[in-house]
Structure 1
Amino acid sequence: MAMEVMDWLLEGDPAIRWQVLRDLVQAPPDQVEAERARVETQGWGARLLAARDLDGQWDGGACFPRRIVDDWQAGIEPDFSDGQPWTSTLPTLMLLHDLGLDPASAAARETIGLVTVNCRWEHDGQAFFDGEVEACINGRTLSIGAYFGADVGSLVTGLLADQLDDGGWNCWTERGAIVSSFDSTICVLEGLSEYEESAGNVSVSDARRRGEEYLLERQLFRRRSTGEVPAERWLQFSWPPRWHYDVLRALDYFRRTADAPDPRVGEAVQLVRDKRQVDGTWLLENTHPGQTQFEFEDGDGRPSRWNTLRALRVLNWYDCQR
């Protein structure tokens, strides 16, 4: 069964294949890099790049498509009853980050240069890599900028200043929030980790550890005070995660730090084990609604290569380092 699942994963998009080769097969580096290079020219990565505007943006905007911003400015409230659209620059660059587009590729270098010059946040016209005010937006922007080699110094400084007393972050801080959010905190932690990997010159390790502790004190999905699960969606594994938190996303973050597993993640790991199907795969769950350029998988309730890849590498990390 394990071999059948691995074969199935390797039949997927180049973005899946190169990560399977690196994280599950331990293939030679040259084989991994050759497969990774295909993300720029084949499959999902190529389709996303083909949808880019000439000025380097997607759908004319930073967080929202230009048509929605135009409506706002005209006093027309957009209809988000079917979910937020995911076709603008931020969510698309985050996808290219997650797919593993090589930062040294011609498409990546050109795009990041154009975004730096042309893309401005809808909030107050700030430059894209300076960030805006919401931590869940700034955390993902930091992941993108650090990964693709943009100047993110002011973005890092702002996020460090926004850390709350309980160790996490909240997108509603500007509106008076003093308690952290799981959604905001995981976005920022991923960004800080990416920044550390890029050898940024601002020390973020203490802030990152405090943010990790915020999640670990809650076993990654429980209230610290009562042990209740505040949101059932945290137990459902979605991809792409967008700004939303879930247990698999959190565990994949901790795996990526390369630290030995903290004992407090044990219950969350067991949840991952329990969701394994009899055929060795994991299902797609709770796809976040909203307009997309295209769908990556076959829909909720069907086997998911993304969730299977992430679950397997989380279990390998946990079982090998305990």
Structure 2
Amino acid sequence: MTTWLLDSDPALRWQVERDLLRRPPEVWEATRASIATEGFGARLLAHQDADGQWAGGAFFPADFSPEEEQPWTATTWSLNALREWGLDAAVLRERRTAELLAANSRWEYEDLPYWSGEVDCCINSWTVSNGLWLGADVTGLVDWFVEHQLPDGGWNCEWVEGSTRSSFHSTLNSLKGLLDFDAATGGTDASRAARQAGEEYLLRRNLFRRLSTGQPVAPWVDHFTYPMRWRYDVLNAADYFRRAARVDGTPPDPRMAEAIALIRAAGQPDGTWRQGDVQPGRMWFDVDVPAGEPSKWLTLFAIRVLQWWDASLP
């Protein structure tokens, strides 16, 4: 299994070396450094425009047509991928990416400046994470999350349309930005309280159940796909809680047990996890296998989560 996982792009391989094989830092750090010059990272960096953007737009490509499926080539999606793969931020800082985006990139929503965010919780969370990574000032956006948290403890990107009930998708994505802020800065009383309330929203629902009926919120809760992008599933959520536990120095919450069982049940007899239905839409290039095939990315995520969970058991 490890041989199969190691035969992969540097963006994945360094995480296998660090998290599964526990190799010395000099080993996985060297692999991580090669993201900028090899494989997925180098290919995506080559698509950056001279004005700092990708595909000429903030969230959508400049040539986006409302009739097409959501494309995944514009600036935010490209930054998300590079950050999540582990690219050294110094590569983009040398290109003055944060400054170029401040000068040249505007959100498609009301032409707002890039680092100020807009009204969508998920977009604003990714802007927080990417801004922290690249050295932009996103403090105001962190305050925005505190101000826009719903009474039930979560968030919903449709709040602007009047929604007062939180969404699993929006809540998880919002939590990721707040976690990155707390990890990078130590957080504030307000950011930590908001994150705790958002985590409680998911934990009270065992990461996948309706609070009202106890039934699964939707069939997609155990349909795993990479890239995960904005979509919620219990593997995506469990990986968030794994990272949060590392930041906070806390053990896994026992209310995750049923979600962990779903992740374990999705594993195949050969020790792999299979790709789910891939989201349609334009991409720069494929980074994982077609639906139904063993996914190295999902296998990494699942093994890492299960090892973290199992290490806490008596």
- Give the corresponding residue for 2:252: 261
Distance 2:174 2:134 in 1: 17
Residue aligned with 2:89, SS: coil
Residues 103 and 109 in structure 1, CA contact (< 8 A), matched pair in contact too: no
Higher mean alpha-carbon deviation, 147-156 vs 32-41, is at 147-156
User: 1:48 corresponds to which letter in structure 2?
Assistant: L
Q: Please state how far the C-alpha of 1:44 moved relative to its aligned partner.
A: 0.5
Of 23-32 and 9-18, more deviation after overlay is shown by: 23-32
Match of 2:133 in 1: 147
- 1:228 matched residue in structure 2: 215
Q: Distance in 1 between matches of 2:181 and 2:271?
A: 34
If the length of structure 1 is used for normalisation, what is the TM-score?
0.92
After TM superposition, give the deviation of residue 89 of structure 1 in Å: 0.5
Which residue in 2 is equivalent to 1:74? Answer: none
Question: 1:202, CA displacement in angstroms?
Answer: 3.8
Identity %: 48
Q: 1:313 & 1:190 partners in 2: Cα distance? A: 18
Q: Which amino acid aligns with 1:276?
A: G
Q: 1:110 offset after TM fit, Å? A: 2.9
SS at match of 1:67: coil
Q: For residue 148 of structure 1, report the CA deviation from its aligned partner.
A: 2.8
Q: 1:164 to 1:109 in 2, by over 3 A?
A: farther
Give the superposition deviation at 1:200: 5.7
Deviations 1:239-291 (A, max 9, x none): 11111111110000000112311111001101111111111111111211111
Gaps of 5+ in 2: none
Work out the CA distance in 2 between the residues paired with 1:222 and 1:45: 37
The residue aligned with 2:196 is 209
The answer on 1:134 being equivalent to 2:125 is no
Task: Tell me which residue corresponds to 2:172.
Answer: 186
Deviation digits for residues 98-119 of structure 1 (CA, Å, limit 9, x no counterpart) = 1111112356653233223221
Partner Cα separation in structure 1 for residue 24 and residue 225 of structure 2:
30
8 Å Cα contact 1:101/1:108 also seen in 2? no
**Structure 1 residues 219 and 111, CA gap change in structure 2 (3 angstroms):** same
Partner SS, residue 66 of structure 1 = coil
| Mapped pair 1:38 → 2:24 | no
In structure 2, C-alpha distance between the alignment counterparts of 1:91 and 1:210, rounded to whole Å:
27
- Asked if the contact 2:97–2:134 (Cα under 8 Å) also holds between the matched residues in 1, the reply is no
Give CA-to-partner distance per residue, 1:125-155, whole Å, 9 cap, x none: 2221211001011112212222333211111
Task: Give yes or no for the alignment of 1:51 onto 2:51.
Answer: no
Q: Normalising by the residue count of structure 2, what TM-score does the alignment of the two structures yield?
A: 0.94
Distance, in Å, in 1 between the alignment partners of 2:136 and 2:221 is 31
Moved more, 159-168 or 225-234: 225-234
2:67 alignment counterpart = 79
- Please give the alpha-carbon distance, in whole angstroms, between the structure 2 residues aligned to 1:201 and 1:277: 40
Show CA shifts across 1:195-254 (max 9, x none): 111116644111101000000111101101111122211211111111111111000000
Greater displacement, 285-294 / 309-318: 285-294
Quote how far apart the aligned CAs of 1:320 are.
0.6
Q: Matches of residues 1-322 of structure 1 in structure 2 within 5 Å?
A: 5-68=1-64, 78-80=66-68, 83-105=69-91, 110-199=96-185, 202-203=188-189, 204-257=191-244, 258=246, 259-322=250-313
Alpha-carbon distance between aligned partners in 2 of 1:43 and 1:198, rounded to the nearest angstrom: 28
What residue identity is the alignment partner of 2:134?
Answer: F
Query: How many pairs does the alignment contain?
Result: 308
Distance 1:111 1:42 in 2: 20
2-structure distance, mates of 1:12, 1:108: 27
Unaligned runs of 5+ in 1: 72-77
